[in-house]
Amino acid sequence: MKDTKHPFGKGRLRLVAAVGLVVSGIAAAQSGSTSEEDRLVEGLLAKMTLEEKFGQLNQPPGPDNNTGPQAEAAGLDQVRKGRVGSYLGVTGAGRTCQYQHVAVEESRLGIPLLFGYDVIHGYRTIFPQSLGEAATFDPAAVEHAARIAAVEASADGVHWTYAPMVDVARDPRWGRISEGSGEDPYLGSVLAAARVRGFQGEKLGEDGTLLATAKHFVAYGAAEAGRDYNIADMSERTLREVYLPPFKAAVDAGVGSVMASFNELNGVPMHANAALIDGVLRKQWGFDGVVVSDYTGIWELTKHGVAADESAAGVLGLKAGVDIDMVSDIYRRFGPKLVRDGRLDEKLVDESVRRVLRAKYRMGLFADPYRFCADTTRAKTRMLTPEHRQAARDVARESLVLLKNDGGVLPLSKDVGKVAVIGPLADSRADMLGNWAGAGRPQDAVTPLQGLREALGEARVLHAKGAGVNGDDESGFDAAVAAAKQADVVLLFIGESGDMSGEASSRSSIDLPGVQQELVEAVKATGKPVVAVVFSGRPLTLQPLHDAVPAIVEAWFPGIEGGHAIADVLFGDYNPAGRLPATFPRNLGQVPIYHAHRNTGRPTRLNPDGKIEKYTSRYLDVDNSPLYPFGHGLSYTTFRYGAPKVKKAKIAAGESQQVEVTVTNTGKREGDEVVQLYLRDDVASVTRPVRELRGFRRVHLKPGESRVLSFELKPDDLAFYDAKLQRVVEPGTFTVFVGGSSEAKLQATFEVKAQ
Ligand code: BGC
């Protein structure tokens, strides 16, 4: 940023001068061993009134807030009085500079504000919905998408994103499954770290960086019955094995903040959960960043029934270690009196204030409060650039999953005569963005209809909507059938609308909504070949569609370049290789269904007469297997795997193991393969999943090309929590499975020796 362009240069100098005085004063009084950060923070803290302290812990909504129940935006008079530490939803270089100016120039201590916003899968350049990004199985691509989001958002004055959302989710009824990385803690951990690196860049505070937030801590994805905000009730083991690991990965990657979750866990609401926030997150893991409440999360403690009134809710929140009160306005209103009445220890409050000030320091705001907003040209030059659009197209192509392709219907030849483009999602720009689309605009989005017209020319593309996403109106069917009859192939664009997943968007049925399956049947009856492209923010129950059409592509919500990416895949300009980050069930009754399940004492087996044994763990009316398993995704080429080889037949506990596998592209097209490695601890002192993901690699292979891939299994990859919840590696045999999905069959075994 150039100082010459700085509209409030004088103010900045004033602050820097003030801070300089504080720093030198404190330095004189102290031994000199403390860092500049400590001196600055302690210096300010020593000057703050109780009201100003609670002001730092207060995060009201701003004028651009677009989430949650209506809440009144806090005005600048509050900033002037030092009663606001950060904002949810103040964006734009001009506006953030205006607010910052008031904080720095007109409040007593001149402490800069932090501006937070939900930058989830892109800011202006919208990438695929996070679940779609996860389907790339490509951490580098996911990191790059987050990097671009940070560059764009920070050019618009934003300092802080409430992402990555790292909640593991195993119930597709829960609409927020779309915001995360799906069902698997290992994949979720790898992508959590990638996104943190992407948002925060090399060093926080540098140009183009955002303070990241791992959310929602914790077990929010385990909402009972998949209903948003519902309770979570689970064993300590499941919490540690499944729900905590992505948060740990984010902390290890240096995430600057963590958001508490709306749910209660085993009877304790997370905003009052000292054992997990102060205990596990801070003390066990050493997280030294800031913890922010979710939207009115502190106030909701009164609704959970653990706080008699708002004051009590404030006490619980602060004691649990929730530093910042988003929207409830409870800390600000009640905090000072609670301290004066002896209900809250000021030392505890100081700890929270320190963490907030440190976050501001780490974002470089004390050095230059206007570093993210002064240069207003950046919002124009850094957003939606051709490079960013290209990256969005690349990631969208990588996210598409070819679920089914009977008889090699896909890819279509560009010599195909006419195509009928049918369905409610064929030409809906807004739906391409999905939910939580930052500053994304529908007019930026390329729909499949547009992408196909560009690829084939207008004349060869017939279009009929056929039906809406929801509702029972079949009046468009005739036009759809007529278009299908005139075409050589039918491309159906069906599924959910973008707002049917995300927050407060749980569904009790995950079938194709409305009369879309009927539309499929009507079009199919023409006898024309039909290819379905499905949009969804969750796994859907696609059995009827699977039975009806030969080829299906899962497109999630692919972002602004979705239409191009889809055309690339349908016509073979790009060979799809996306993989499912969550299991697709056959029907809703199978839910929860996930690949890393336990075996039970009665796994399904066949009788000598070939029938399924009755007294086994199964349903009478549906197979146990999913429609499409975790990790599934087809290609236009074929890959052959050699037998996996373990480096050592026996290792000691505490030693690492190497697994090697050779993968060959045996088909005629180049393409990516997602090589997956799963592990089973064959016999252990407590039950272990039938297999757990422990490695994956997306590799590009030319026809005939072979690659030898080597995976390292570290001691912790072999470890689990024993009956006393101690993390151990036990002696015995382990089985490694390698292949292109969680149903990989090729295996090798090795032994961990007894000590
Ligand atoms: C959501 C969070 C989000 C916050 C601020 C809440 O309703 O649960 O994920 O970060 O709003 O927009």
Tens digits of residue pLDDT in 289-307: 999 999 999 999 999 999 9
User: CB–CB of 572/411 below 8 Å?
Assistant: yes
> Does the structure show a pLDDT above 90 at 66?
no
Q: How far is the CA of 162 from the centre of ligand 1 (A)?
A: 7
> Does the structure show a pLDDT above 90 at 137?
yes
Reduce the secondary structure of 554-593 to three states and give it as a string.
ECCCCCCCHHHHHHHHHCCCCCCCCCCCCCECCCHHHCCC
User: CB–CB of 446/491 below 8 Å?
Assistant: no
**pLDDT grade, residue 71 (50/70/90)?**
confident
Question: Minimal CA–CA distance to 744: which of 636, 666, 663, 657?
Answer: 663
Closest C-alpha residue for ligand 1 atom 2: 294
- What does the block give as tokens for 628? 């499409």
- The CB of 503 under 6 Å from ligand 1? The reply is yes
- The CB of 215 under 6 Å from ligand 1? The reply is yes
**pLDDT grade, residue 23 (50/70/90)?**
very low
What's the alpha-carbon Rg for the chain, to the nearest Å?
27
> Does the structure show a pLDDT above 70 at 11?
no
- The CB of 561 under 6 Å from ligand 1? The reply is no
735: exposed, middle or buried (Cβ count in 10 Å: 0-12, 13-18, 19+): middle
Mean pLDDT in residue range 111-117: 98
Which residue spans within 576-730 are E strands per DSSP? Answer: 639-641, 645-646, 650-652, 657-665, 671-681, 692-701, 706-713, 720-721, 727-728
The predicted pLDDT at position 67 comes to 80
Mean pLDDT in residue range 460-471: 98
Percent of the chain with pLDDT over 70: 96
- The CB of 176 under 6 Å from ligand 1? The reply is no
**pLDDT grade, residue 492 (50/70/90)?**
very high
What number does the ligand 1 atom closest to the CA of 162 have?
10
Closest C-alpha residue for ligand 1 atom 6: 295
Identify the active-site residue in 118, 171, 184, 294.
Answer: 294
Residue 64: active-site member:
no
Q: How far is the CA of 397 from the centre of ligand 1 (A)?
A: 28
Closest C-alpha residue for ligand 1 atom 4: 295
Give the domains, in start order, of the chain with CATH numbers.
396-590 (3.40.50.1700), 639-753 (2.60.40.10)
Mean pLDDT in residue range 128-143: 98
- Could you identify the residue written with the tokens 């301290």? 339
- The CB of 544 under 6 Å from ligand 1? The reply is no
> Does the structure show a pLDDT above 80 at 389?
yes
Q: How far is the CA of 295 from the centre of ligand 1 (A)?
A: 6
Q: Alpha helix (H) ranges present in 253-370?
A: 274, 300-304, 310-320, 330-340, 346-362
> Does the structure show a pLDDT above 90 at 75?
no
Q: Which of 67, 210, 258 to mutate to test the pocket of ligand 1 (most atoms within 8 A of CB)?
A: 67
- The CB of 300 under 6 Å from ligand 1? The reply is no
Q: What is the Cα–Cα distance from 96 to 439, expressed in whole angstroms?
A: 15
Provide the β-strand partners of residue 747.
Answer: 737
Closest C-alpha residue for ligand 1 atom 12: 67
Closest C-alpha residue for ligand 1 atom 8: 294
What number does the ligand 1 atom closest to the CA of 179 have?
9
Q: How far is the CA of 360 from the centre of ligand 1 (A)?
A: 21
Q: How far is the CA of 406 from the centre of ligand 1 (A)?
A: 42
Q: How far is the CA of 262 from the centre of ligand 1 (A)?
A: 9
> Does the structure show a pLDDT above 50 at 26?
no
ω into 411 cis (within 30 of 0): yes
Residues whose CB is less than 8 angstroms from the CB of residue 29 and which lie 6 or more positions away in sequence, other chains included: none
Provide the β-strand partners of residue 710.
Answer: 660
The predicted pLDDT at position 33 comes to 60
**pLDDT grade, residue 466 (50/70/90)?**
very high
- The CB of 88 under 6 Å from ligand 1? The reply is yes
The predicted pLDDT at position 69 comes to 79
For 223-275, what is each residue's pLDDT tens digit?
999 999 999 999 999 999 999 999 999 999 999 999 999 999 999 999 999 99
> Does the structure show a pLDDT above 90 at 543?
yes
**pLDDT grade, residue 74 (50/70/90)?**
confident
Q: How far is the CA of 95 from the centre of ligand 1 (A)?
A: 21
For 391-430, what is each residue's pLDDT tens digit?
999 999 999 999 999 999 999 999 999 999 999 999 999 9
Q: What is the Cα–Cα distance from 603 to 598, expressed in whole angstroms?
A: 9
Reduce the secondary structure of 215-280 to three states and give it as a string.
EEECCHHHCHHHCCCCCECCCHHHHHHHHCHHHHHHHHCCCCEEEECCCEECCEEHHHCHHHHHHH
User: CB–CB of 298/322 below 8 Å?
Assistant: yes
Greatest CA separation for the chain: 88
- The CB of 68 under 6 Å from ligand 1? The reply is yes
> Does the structure show a pLDDT above 50 at 17?
no
Question: Minimal CA–CA distance to 327: which of 362, 293, 281?
Answer: 293
Q: Which of 295, 299, 328 to mutate to test the pocket of ligand 1 (most atoms within 8 A of CB)?
A: 295
List, edge to edge, every strand of the sheet that includes 160-161: 86-88, 114-117, 160-161
What number does the ligand 1 atom closest to the CA of 261 have?
8
Count of residues making up the chain = 755
Q: H or E segment at 87? A: strand 86-88
Q: What is the Cα–Cα distance from 344 to 349, expressed in whole angstroms?
A: 8
Q: Which of 88, 117, 160, 162 to mutate to test the pocket of ligand 1 (most atoms within 8 A of CB)?
A: 162
- What does the block give as tokens for 230? 């519902």
CA separation, residue 459 to residues 45, 454, 487, 570 (Å): 69, 11, 12, 18
Q: How far is the CA of 623 from the centre of ligand 1 (A)?
A: 38
> Does the structure show a pLDDT above 60 at 94?
yes
What number does the ligand 1 atom closest to the CA of 89 have?
12
Q: What is the Cα–Cα distance from 621 to 636, expressed in whole angstroms?
A: 34
Q: How far is the CA of 98 from the centre of ligand 1 (A)?
A: 24
Q: What is the Cα–Cα distance from 131 to 508, expressed in whole angstroms?
A: 20
